[in-house]
Amino acid sequence: MTRMLIIGPPGSGKGTQAARISERLGVVAISTGDIFRDNVRRETPLGVEAKTFMDAGDFVPDSVTNSMVRDRLAAGDVQEGFLLDGYPRTAAQVAELDDILRENDLALDVVLQLTADDEELVKRLLGRAKLDGRSDDNERVIRHRLGLYQDQTAPVVSRYDERGIVTRVDGLGSIDEVTDRVMTALKVAS
């Protein structure tokens, strides 16, 4: 059973690799970004609240995000393992996740960090913008999201580094190459 986080800057391949890891390890992947986007599409109260922040490339407030994740992790399917994609992104979210896991008698096995340089990230996200026109994939908003990652999410990785559970994987190269590296890092034959 694997309980893991995948962390990386926007465009590093988190969502892309999370889907593959989930399939290979047979664990449920939970992406906060996907849950928000689904709510935006369905125009739920959560989606209406999240949309303004997402369009600007800002984080959705911790209170909103934390209660959404708390509800999701209460579902029975996480007992067989899980992969959280895009959460936690702030110090307050780390504290909340610690509480949720403690209350449910769960512990994290590994935090996978994907790395890539800013120019490659911008290039990928502008490429995605041409294909699916995500409202937060324009250069100004992308650079803002990269700045937020450095300011708020890089310190999150340091917190897990102190606990000795971070595995870093180079996110450059083709999607298949990165998957191979990830699987090797997770010590699972790909």
CA distance 147 to 71: 29
Establish if 82 lies at the interface with ligand B4P (CB under 6 A): no
With beta carbons less than 8 A apart as the criterion, state whether 81 and 87 touch: no
User: What is the separation of C-alpha 14 from the centre of its chain, rounded to a whole number of angstroms?
Assistant: 6
Query: Can residue 72 be called a binding residue for ligand B4P (CB under 6 A)?
Result: no
Whole-angstrom distance, CA of residue 169 vs CA of residue 183: 10
57 binds ligand B4P (CB under 6 A): yes
Neighbours of 105 (CB within 10 A): 7
159 is catalytic: no
> Which tokens is 19 given?
């889907």
Two tokens at 55?
């369009």
- Nearest Cα to Cα of residue 157 among 14, 17, 19, 27: 14
Contact with ligand B4P (CB under 6 A) among 3, 36, 39, 72: 36
x-marked contacts with ligand B4P along 102-141 as a string, rule CB under 6 A = ----------------------xx--x-------x-----
Angle at 183 between CA 105 and CA 176, to 5 degrees: 135
Q: Of 71-79, 104-112, 154-162, 173-181, which segment contacts ligand B4P by CB under 6 A?
A: 173-181
Least distance CB 78 / ligand B4P (angstroms):
16
134 counts as catalytic: yes
Catalytic one of 134, 143, 159, 168? 134
Q: What are phi and psi of 170, to 5 degrees?
A: -70, 120
Residue 96 in contact with ligand B4P, rule: CB under 6 A: no
* Residue at 43: amino acid letter: E
Mark whether 145 is an active-site residue: yes
Residues lying near ligand B4P in the complex (CB under 6 A): 10-16, 32-33, 36, 53-54, 57-60, 65, 86-87, 89, 93, 124-125, 128, 136, 145, 173-175, 178
* Annotated binding residues: 11-16, 32, 37, 58-60, 86-89, 93, 128, 134, 145, 173
Positions marked catalytic: 14, 89, 128, 134, 145
